[in-house]
Amino acid sequence: MTLAGIEEEITQAVQKLSESVVNIEATVYARGRRFGGIIPVEGSGSGVIFDLTGHVITNNHVVDSADVVTVSLKDGRVFGGKVIGSDGATDIAVVELEANDRNLPYATLGDSEHLKVGQIALAIGNSLGLPGGPTVSLGVVSALARPLPGADFIYEGFIQTDAAINPGNSGGPLANLQGEIIGINTAIIPYANGMGFAIPVNMVRHVAEQILEKGRVIRPWIGISAVEVNPAISRRYDLRVDTGLMVIGVSRYSPADEAGLRQGDVITGINGHETKSMKDLLSEISKLAVGSGVRLATVRLGNEMEISLRLVEMPARLYSRR
């Protein structure tokens, strides 16, 4: 493809998507320290309309604890917004526009399952809150399944991109050349050049659907803390295995506790899938519903055994940042 052809693809993708990208102003009413009274504290970010009924995806940290949310469209329309649900663990929130007019532009959610490192990515958002609509930056998908340095999110499978993500871009879309959302931009690292992160759209879709259906995200839970086994840990504790997860804590009354899992047990598999890291375990659990049965392959004092348990909903205090 010629350079002119690539340029045409980029401009068409931006045109397709930018109408649905919104600016979000979030106001928190805080009490003044010196003279008392209520002081409005304002922050801004981006979001994107993702369905015809006027629901907007943004970051949880953009609207967290907001008393008033105002959403501005590129065409000049301004609506009040209501946060109908949020998830601090993935930094996703869904805002509903308070609008009778349903003639709203909305974006197409793509598929992040088959992203490739090196493919072109477009970051669109309201950088620095500048007037005149969203801005666009161009880059590539730099890496996949990245942990986010310095963050306390449970989810670690972020898209890394070198497309410029500036303050104000949080909550805006990362898109492909078809104008489809492949991720929601969530953060930049201030001490690094050319490193931004986005939540893959498949995770975004899953979280948004649960928020719309249930008002919150329901996560299955077994109730353990563990460390990843390596040869050094195996030798020190005489574990007889070199990989797996050594249980270091079991929450009282949790499924793991009721099933008899103990400190020192090593989990080597779940439902027939090998488990070498906590990410492996969480990945398999995340595919299951609350109430599902789970078979854990474990090693206790050198003896192999299988422990069966049934998943329950993770207590909100364990993943909420509010």
**Burial class, 249, CB count within 10 angstroms (exposed 0-12 / middle 13-18 / buried 19+):** exposed
* Residue 313: inside a domain: yes
Q: What is the pLDDT of residues 224-244, one digit of tens each?
A: 989 999 999 999 988 889 999
Same domain? 113 vs 210: yes
Q: Is 239 helix (H, G, I), strand (E, B) or coil?
A: coil
* Residue 12: inside a domain: no
Q: Is 93 helix (H, G, I), strand (E, B) or coil?
A: strand
- Domain span holding position 299: 220-318
Of the pLDDT bands very low, low, confident and very high (cuts 50, 70, 90), residue 319 is low
Same domain? 295 vs 224: yes
Whether 238 is a known active-site residue: answer no
* Residue 46: inside a domain: yes
Q: Please identify which of the residues 91, 162, 265, 280 carries the catalytic annotation.
A: 91
Is residue 321 pLDDT above 50, yes or no?
no
Whether 292 is a known active-site residue: answer no
**Burial class, 241, CB count within 10 angstroms (exposed 0-12 / middle 13-18 / buried 19+):** middle
Same domain? 296 vs 310: yes
- Judge whether 92 and 63 are in contact, CB under 8 Å: no
H or E element in which residue 97 lies: strand 92-98
* Residue 7: inside a domain: no
The DSSP output letter for 290 is: T
Residue type present at position 11: T
Q: Please identify which of the residues 44, 61, 137, 280 carries the catalytic annotation.
A: 61
Of the pLDDT bands very low, low, confident and very high (cuts 50, 70, 90), residue 318 is low
Is residue 150 pLDDT above 60, yes or no?
no
Whether 61 is a known active-site residue: answer yes
Output the pLDDT for position 152.
45
Give the strand pairing for 120-125 and 135-146: antiparallel
Provide the domain count of the chain.
3
Q: Which two three-digit tokens encode residue 6?
A: 């690539």
Task: Identify the domain boundary among 98, 122, 140.
Answer: 98
Same domain? 210 vs 229: no
Q: Is 170 helix (H, G, I), strand (E, B) or coil?
A: coil
Of the pLDDT bands very low, low, confident and very high (cuts 50, 70, 90), residue 156 is low
Q: Which of 31, 9, 225 is nearest to 138 (CA)?
A: 9
Output the pLDDT for position 76.
87
Same domain? 312 vs 230: yes
Is residue 265 pLDDT above 60, yes or no?
yes
CATH of the domain at 35: 2.40.10.10
* Residue 2: inside a domain: no
- What's the CA gap between 290 and 279, in Å, rounded? 19
* Residue 143: inside a domain: yes
pTM of the predicted model as reported, rounded to 2 decimal places? 0.77
Q: What is the pLDDT of residues 54-69, one digit of tens each?
A: 899 999 999 988 889 9
Residue with tokens 């078979």, as numbered in its chain: 295
Task: Identify the domain boundary among 195, 214, 233.
Answer: 214
- What's the CA gap between 227 and 266, in Å, rounded? 9
∠ CA 305-307-313, rounded to 5°: 155
pLDDT exceeding 90 applies to what percent of the chain? 49
- Judge whether 51 and 20 are in contact, CB under 8 Å: no
Same domain? 210 vs 127: yes
CATH of the domain at 228: 2.30.42.10
The DSSP output letter for 318 is: G
Q: Identify the residue with better confidence: 154 or 207.
A: 207
First to last CA, the chain: 48
Q: What is the pLDDT of residues 68-121, one digit of tens each?
A: 999 999 888 899 999 999 988 788 999 999 877 667 899 999 999 889 999 999
* Alpha-carbon torsion (226, 231, 233, 238), positive or negative: positive
Task: Identify the domain boundary among 68, 98, 128.
Answer: 98
* Residue 67: inside a domain: yes
Q: Please identify which of the residues 46, 86, 170, 254 carries the catalytic annotation.
A: 170
Q: Which of 164, 167, 184, 72 is nearest to 128 (CA)?
A: 167
The rounded mean pLDDT for the chain is: 85
Residue with tokens 């078809």, as numbered in its chain: 178
* Residue 1: inside a domain: no
